[in-house]
Structure 1
Amino acid sequence: MGRTKIEWADAVWNPVTGCTPVSEGCKNCYAERMSKRLAGRCGYPEDEPFRVTLHPEKLNEPWHWKKPRRVFVCSMGDLFHEDVPDDFILKVFLQMTFCPSRHIFMVLTKRPKRMKDIIEKFMGQMLGTSGKTMEEKQAWPHKRVWLGVTVENQEMANERIPILLKIPATVRFVSCEPLLGPVDLSKWLGICEGCGVPATKCGPVLWHKGQKCCPDCTHDFQLNWVIAGGETGPGARPMHPEWVRSLRDQCQEAGVPFFFKSWGEYKPLPYSDRGDGLHTLTEYKGCKYDFVKVGKKNAGSLLDGRTWDEFPDLEG
């Protein structure tokens, strides 16, 4: 149960399914398409399969998976949707925090403001409730619960990332999928001018008893991982190679792991005059590529002759 073909995860866990659009990246949502195929089955309502739905029977599902997995949490919805009650989200966090199996839980949202509010509430419960053991009171941030936001363009990067970086977590990441335009993450990937620690090390150690370890830090918390990928499915929009290369180069310069998932439905090929490609994108005048729709499998994930499938170092 829970196995997935998502390249950066081993399993999916969906105690909540369903969502509603909040930005341009939602336009061709794969989860909504899949829910329609599952209408009336597997817990998806027959009349409105992508309606936000709670699945309390799935809350302890990862506890039964003995072999450690990278678990994408709520791949078929958004855990922080406004229709999901606070107490249910807190139950999900308790399951992740105290799960005996050594899974990595990757929580991705387009609603970081609510994520921040809920985690602050969760921390308050852990620290302020009498009768808790010392282990329970020190349960957050948890080493194996990673927090991320979807960033499809620069507008969403500017809106969502600053909120994410205010949330205590050992790993913070962004998923630039579908990547719909150039995105500059450099100001969130740099080296701290106060302590000289790079982003890959700074994030896991900065939060200590509610305080930054380096009092001279001139930055907020940093990103520890970047995922990028093109759009898939009917109506998919092509992704320019320079958008992906830029993200990779930003990550390499900062020492941040980079994972390139796929080109999506369109494969970029050197420009030709044969007239059967999409020669230009509005964001890139004078584009030197054809974008030929070949399907995700045939488009592949090679970028400049190699795959990029890096992950954060949990021991770092």
Structure 2
Amino acid sequence: MSSISTGIEWTDKTWNPTTGCDKISSGCLHCYAEAITHRFPRNFPNGFALTLHPERLKEPLRWRTPSRVFVNSMSDLFHKDVPLDFIQQVFSVIRATPWHIYQILTKRHERLDELSSKLDFPQNVWLGVSVENQNYVNRLEYLRRVPVSVRFVSCEPLLGELKLDLSNIDWVIVGGESGQKHRPMQLNWAKDIRNQCQNAGVAFFFKQVGGRTPKAGGKLLDDLVWDEMPNAWHEHIKIWKNTSLKSTIKAQK
């Protein structure tokens, strides 16, 4: 589970320089990452306890195809037990691999705010916060303070109706919860967020309705697939198609 191609539709690869986490809000109740550690205990000898993996830091240097890389699908980079020095090392690798886009998603908005002045955010970082219901919309205020090129919001699992201030937000992802104990999502909640995105000119990505399995309810909303990406991704691909990627990678080794 260190670096793999993934079934997460809005990314291409996952990169896990840390694994493990703690539950801090209602969206964490049925954490898929924790379930994976229980399912594959040999791969996770520390279970779901926060664990650093410095041996994984240089993995992206070997990936030649420009990709969207989800950082820490099995953890949270801004967990209180991840040292600032380690986060800086992660950012150094990101800066050294400008042909990739790195998507960092956190629920630790307060630690993000605490550390942001001590971090030099590379241009190829997309930073997001999770907002699963109206109790956590304040995470957006913290996100707006961080100097990154793309800011995004993950409303997954969507657990209620949301009214969002989308100023200086580039992308919203919405998805219902999956699993035997999933909490059903009302389609009107997702449709309303889509409408808010359209009114604000923000890219909207609908991942799934949810159900007993991730694909149980499908991914159609009003009979359409919504898979919009920020303009920054399309511009990124154009740039790298016209760049000598091989020489760039060789220079970074």
TM-score, structure 2 normalization = 0.88
Looking at CA atoms only, which structure, 1 or 2, has the larger radius of gyration?
1
Identify unmatched segments of 5+ residues in structure 1: 124-139, 190-221, 266-292
* 1:188 equivalent in alignment to 2:179: no
Aligned to 2:154: 175
Aligned to 1:308: 226
The aligned amino acid for 1:116 is D
* 1:93 equivalent in alignment to 2:54: no
Aligned to 1:253: 199
SS in 2 for 1:236: coil
CA distance in 2, matches of 1:117, 1:250: 30
Aligned to 2:174: 228
Aligned to 2:118: 121
Q: CA deviation at 1:40?
A: 2.5
Aligned-residue CA RMSD in angstroms? 1.4
Match of 2:125 among 145, 148, 155: 145
Q: CA deviation at 1:143?
A: 2.9
Aligned to 1:284: none
Given that residues 28 and 234 in structure 1 are in contact (C-alpha distance below 8 angstroms), is that contact kept between their aligned partners in structure 2?
Answer: no
- 1:12-91 → structure 2 map (5 Å cutoff): 12-41=14-43, 44-45=44-45, 48-91=46-89
Deviations 1:168-196 (A, max 9, x none): 111000000000000111x334xxxxxxx
Deviations 1:10-37 (A, max 9, x none): 0000000000000000000000000111
Deviations 1:111-134 (A, max 9, x none): 0221233231023xxxxxxxxxxx
Aligned to 2:106: 109
Equivalent pairs: percent with the same residue? 50
Match of 1:5 among 4, 7, 16: 7
Identify unmatched segments of 5+ residues in structure 2: 237-253
Corresponding pairs, count: 232
Given that residues 13 and 67 in structure 2 are in contact (C-alpha distance below 8 angstroms), is that contact kept between their aligned partners in structure 1?
Answer: yes
TM-score, structure 1 normalization = 0.71
SS in 1 for 2:88: helix
Given that residues 40 and 49 in structure 1 are in contact (C-alpha distance below 8 angstroms), is that contact kept between their aligned partners in structure 2?
Answer: no
The aligned amino acid for 1:32 is E
The aligned amino acid for 1:38 is F
Q: Runs in 1 of length 4+ with deviation above 6 angstroms? A: none
